[in-house]
Amino acid sequence: AARSLARHRGGINVSRMLKPRDRAPDFVRADHRGQTIDTAALRAIGPIVVYFYPRDFSLGCTKEACLFRDAFDDLHGSGATIVGVSVDDDASHARFAERYRLPFSLVSDPDRALARSFGITRGFGLLGARRVTFVIDRDGSVHTALHSETSMSAHVDAVRAALGVLARP
């Protein structure tokens, strides 16, 4: 039992979560506006930030989304595409994006297939994904993988740092 608990942190089996240098799964999904998000095509433009969050409108998720919104010009100016992912449906995402003026795409993952492909479903895959942010480089490798349930600003800070490194020649 101790060995099993050691492999889990905050309900995530960390041995399965993608780590830096792992190949990130490409996906094609419609966002909350009906626009196609094709990560393979987007990587040709620049890095991709995929952040998983539990629910639209919850206190922590709203704070995190607004932090990404407030940093959007800087992050997007670094060539990054930001994609938020949760189990909520497109209608909820549309209300969430409108209410908080979110300028980036929100993607629905109701069957948690994306969360599973990134290795971040909660224990036994029964609940939604946790709060994890990935920065994926142009080659499709995970550059940064951050799991923090309580520090919403840590996600944006990690993205800023990663984009600073990726921008260097």
CA distance 29 to 136: 17
Has 61 been annotated as catalytic? yes
The packing angle between helices 59-77 and 152-166, to 10°, is 20
Question: Comparing C-alpha atoms, which of 116, 146, 144, 145 is closest to residue 128?
Answer: 116
Q: Which two tokens stand for residue 118?
A: 């990134």
Active-site pick, 24, 42, 61, 75: 61
Residue 155: exposed, middle, or buried by beta-carbon count in 10 A (0-12, 13-18, 19+)? buried
Radius of gyration in angstroms for the set of CA atoms belonging to the chain, rounded to a whole number: 15
Locus of tokens 């100016």: 77
Question: Comparing C-alpha atoms, which of 128, 110, 116 is closest to residue 54?
Answer: 128
What residues act catalytically? Answer: 61
